[in-house]
A and B are shown apart, each in its own frame.
Chain A
Amino acid sequence: MSMEIPYTVEARPDTGLTNGKLGIWLFLASEVMLFGALFASYVMLRVGSQNWPPGSTYLNIPLATLNTVILISSSVTMVLAWASIAKHDFKRFRLFMGITILCGFGFLIVKYFEYSAKFHHELYPSTNTFLAIYFTLTGLHGLHVIGGMAVNSYLWGPGSALYKTDPVHFMNRVENSGLFWHLVDLVWIFLFPILYLL
């Protein structure tokens, strides 16, 4: 019997899915539960507190709005990167994937300014519960941004060699990586108002 694992590239007829796509959606479901736990913690801590500061007390709303726009834009460029590969335009794929990665860098740089400003004012996770959950939630989200960027960089760089030997397999990988990246954007869409504006 062949050693090949079926449905890595072509979809299984009755489910209509490749293994990778099903796998990445399952992973995303687990991520929803992970961030859900942290949001649940936020709710319980805030509801149980006597003086919960409004986000503007400590946080920079214009910078975070900029970050929101950066991430949303990077999601669009991620779609465009996938679309380029789906239409066999490798150069445009590299362009849009590159912009997506750069947007990630932009997001992290803004975060760097945010965090260092806080530390400069001696505002640490240990200072109070609001800052604790702020740093933890945005920190974990930031780690996911880095992780997504790492995968995207691999696909932009050494991983793109797969396009020459098996373009459909490569396109599937780009699509699956895109799904992860959109989740990172989605989490931020909730993080931004909850932490900064409420």
Chain B
Amino acid sequence: MSDSHDSKHAAHAGHSAEEVDRHVRAAYYVFGSLLVLTGFTVGAYFLHLPKHLAITLALLIATTKGSLVAAWFMHLVSERKLIYWMLVLTALLFIPLLLLPTLTVADHIHLR
């Protein structure tokens, strides 16, 4: 049971000053990595790779960037299991949504 005195302390909410500082430092590292990866994304474009490779590489880099944002900015690395498993469920449903409709017309696919 918290009273107004308690609630003014960040510690009560589970964030000590050191934890916050660590989080901020991680955010800066992630920021740097994201800028570098953005450079890779654009750089890969100028390599003019064949389509299949270009798509794979672009998605790989994007997934890495997205994972960094999710893990560190959105704090997923230290988030509760409940949230994590809900996201796994979402991902498991996202994948069929993404792929199955196109697969039903797969007989007529030509990737240009």
Contacts and interface: CB of A to CB of B under 8 A. Distances in A.
A and B touch in the complex (CB under 8 A): yes
Interface of A: 9-11, 15-17, 21-22, 25-26, 29, 32-33, 36-37, 39-40, 43-44, 47-48, 50-52, 61, 65, 68-69, 72-73, 75-76, 78-80, 83, 86-88, 166-169, 171-172, 178-179, 182-183, 185-186, 189-190, 192-194, 197-198
A33 B66 CA distance: 16
Question: Number of contact residues on B: which range applies?
Answer: 35 or more
B2 A9 contact: yes
A42 B60 CA distance: 18
Contacts, number: 150
Contact of B7 (A16, A32, A33, A167): A167
A83 B86 contact: no
Contacts of B30: 76
Q: By DSSP majority rule, is chain B's interface helix, strand, loop, or mixed?
A: helix
A97 B102 CA distance: 41
A167 B8 CA distance: 6
11 contacts: A43-B101, A44-B102, A61-B42, A75-B73, A76-B28, A78-B73, A83-B21, A86-B10, A168-B12, A190-B62, A198-B55
Contacts of B89: 29
A26 B66 CA distance: 18
Given A33-B90, A192-B41, A79 B80 contact: no
B102 A36 contact: no
B55 A72 contact: no
B77 interface: no
Given A36-B94, A79-B24, A182-B74, A72 B38 contact: yes
Given A40-B98, A65-B42, A197-B45, 15 more contacts: A10-B13, A29-B87, A33-B93, A36-B94, A47-B109, A47-B111, A48-B102, A76-B30, A76-B73, A179-B74, A185-B73, A190-B66, A193-B59, A194-B58, A197-B44
Contacts of B41: 192-193, 197
Interface in B63-98: 65-66, 69-70, 73-74, 80, 82-83, 86-87, 89-90, 93-94, 97-98
Contacts of B8: 167-168
A196 B1 CA distance: 53
